[in-house]
Amino acid sequence: MAAQIIDGKAFAATVREKVAGHVARLKEEHNITPGLAVVLVGEDPASQVYVRSKGKQTVEVGMNSVEHKLDVDTSEADLLALVDQLNNDPAIHGILVQLPLPKHLDEDLVINSISPAKDVDGFHISNVGLLSTGQKSMVPCTPLGCLMMLRDHHGSLSGMNAVVVGRSNIVGKPMAQLLLGDSCTVTIAHSRTKDLPDVVRRADIVVAAVGRPEMVPGDWIKEGATVIDVGINRIERDGKNVLVGDVDFASASERAGAITPVPGGVGPMTIACLLANTVTACCRANGLAEPE
């Protein structure tokens, strides 16, 4: 039987609607408008698209959006000075430095210079530590979006076998922490994993975050499993540029119980979660109750 499609686009729209409601209340009741600053260094085309999209959606939910576009050869000192200025700006509640940064800039240093309270990407080492110890933190947007879709689909994830393919700091590792937090039995697979097909076949939940077009075929998927495809890969097919995930959607959807499409799955949820994190940061900064 064909899998149920988990519609990330529709889900993201409901998340944005809720965010817009919170923003309206913050304005009406407290005269506060949440502000998100996005810093882009250089002219990476994919990053430019993401930053434009983030800015547009930030404004659509009623928040203030500030974009800082810096030259590709911006010095580390100048970038750190900008982050410091944003850290100290009371109108800015969330700061996002778009990755990847040009090679001459130290990503870890820059990310760890963001005030943890304004780190809406959840990449600061303090937030990573808080998440891994089960404390209140800023949760990275992509894994958070995946978790929300899984909870929505399953209700409880307790006791499920989850396999995360990929161990990056921005997707794989925080995803595994979140699944563990929801009491899944979690396996993290990566490029050195032995017998990857067998490992994936044991999973009730598969999260693919690899960056390799359609690497996970349908016959790796356990009958009825839920498949979350984080991958965004641009390939040429039949003379056209198309976006595909890390999972072979056609064959996987024959075996999975539910699956996210690419595009229209994880991608829209990522930006919606960024907006939600910015509202959360704003509420925390002002000592107000956080949205659930």
Residues forming contacts to ligand NDP in the complex (CB under 6 A) are: 142, 165-168, 170-172, 189-193, 196, 209-212, 230-233, 266-267, 270
Shortest spacing between CB 27 and ligand NDP, in angstroms: 28
User: If DSSP codes are grouped into helix, strand and coil, which group holds residue 142?
Assistant: helix
Binding residues: 166-168, 232
Length of the chain counted residue by residue: 292
Q: Which is nearer to ligand NDP, 66 or 199 (CB)?
A: 199
Active-site option among 54, 118, 173, 222? 54
Shortest spacing between CB 236 and ligand NDP, in angstroms: 16
Residue 241 Cα to chain centre, angstroms: 24
Dihedrals φ, ψ of 188, to 5°?
Answer: -105, 120
Q: Which is nearer to ligand NDP, 231 or 261 (CB)?
A: 231
Instruction: Say how far apart CA 98 and CA 95 lie, in whole Å.
Output: 10
Q: Cα(first)–Cα(last) distance of the chain, in Å?
A: 35
Shortest spacing between CB 234 and ligand NDP, in angstroms: 9
| Two tokens, residue 143 | 């894994």
Shortest spacing between CB 169 and ligand NDP, in angstroms: 8
Cis upstream peptide for 100 (omega within 30°)? yes
DSSP annotation of 61 reads: T
User: The tokens 């356990």 sit on which residue?
Assistant: 222
Shortest spacing between CB 9 and ligand NDP, in angstroms: 12
Q: Which is nearer to ligand NDP, 182 or 214 (CB)?
A: 214
Query: Which CA distances in Å does 25 have to 16, 58, 62?
Result: 14, 16, 11
- Which residue's CB comes closest to ligand NDP? 168
54 is catalytic: yes
Q: Which is nearer to ligand NDP, 35 or 172 (CB)?
A: 172
Dihedral over alpha carbons 204, 207, 211, 216 (to 10 degrees): 10
Three-state secondary structure string covering 169-218: CCCHHHHHHHHHHCCCEEEEECCCCCCHHHHHHCCCEEEECCCCCCCECH
Q: Which is nearer to ligand NDP, 230 or 276 (CB)?
A: 230
Active-site option among 57, 98, 177, 248? 98
Query: Which CA distances in Å does 247 have to 67, 113, 170, 202, 252?
Result: 34, 35, 19, 16, 7
Active-site option among 57, 119, 121, 204? 121
Binding residues for NADP(+): 166-168, 232
Q: Catalytic residues, which ones? A: 54, 98, 121
